């Protein structure tokens, strides 16, 4: 199963035993939940926890990712690729990211300072499997203090 969130649309691709893909679309995944909408989150969390072959997750809508979703994703031992909105803004605990240690690909979209500050320790924990790290940022590379740790030969030329 892979989950893709694009422009408020969550697509959950479920791999069946016959290895065919059948999509489940959850449209306009909410950024915050009213009491009635909490059922949606509960369903998504149960679905994530029940995925035994979750290999990739893309969850990029700003403000929709929370700690419960990250913890549900960590339960998948087969997760290899994670692309998330890195702007935690109090919606999730950035320290939870260090629990994703078996990933081959990490992509962070517009990471906050709190997420950037945890990137070094996280990468250190994931270094045995990590092959690709993508950071989409508004800042200059010289403003990312973690880059010398990640890329010792990196030199920024203005």
Q: Express each pLDDT in 20-69 by its tens digit.
A: 343 334 445 666 666 666 777 888 888 888 877 888 888 888 888 899 99
More confident residue, 51 or 134: 134
Asked if 40 and 64 count as a contact pair (C-beta separation under 8 A), the reply is no
CB atoms near residue 23 (< 10 Å):
9
Q: Quote the CA–CA distance of 156 and 95 in Å, as a whole number.
A: 28
Check pLDDT > 70 for residue 9: no
3-state secondary structure of 9: strand
Asked if 29 and 3 count as a contact pair (C-beta separation under 8 A), the reply is no
Token pair for 45: 């969390």
Check pLDDT > 90 for residue 97: yes
């Amino acid at each position: 199963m892979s989950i893709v969130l694009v422009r408020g649309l969550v697509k959950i691709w479920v791999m069946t035993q016959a290895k065919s893909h059948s999509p489940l679309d959850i449209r306009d995944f909410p950024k915050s939940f009213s009491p009635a909408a909490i059922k949606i989150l509960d369903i998504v969390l149960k679905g994530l926890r029940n995925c035994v072959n979750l290999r990739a997750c893309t969850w990029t809508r700003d403000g929709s990712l929370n700690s419960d979703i990250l913890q549900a994703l960590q339960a998948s031992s087969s997760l290899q690729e994670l692309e998330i909105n890195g702007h935690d803004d109090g919606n999730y605990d950035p320290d939870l990211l260090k629990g994703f240690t078996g990933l081959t690909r990490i992509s962070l979209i517009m990471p906050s300072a709190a997420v950037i500050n945890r990137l070094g320790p996280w990468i250190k924990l994931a270094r045995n499997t990590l092959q690709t790290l993508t950071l989409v940022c508004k800042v200059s590379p010289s403003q990312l203090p973690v880059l010398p740790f990640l890329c010792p030969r990196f030199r920024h030329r203005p």
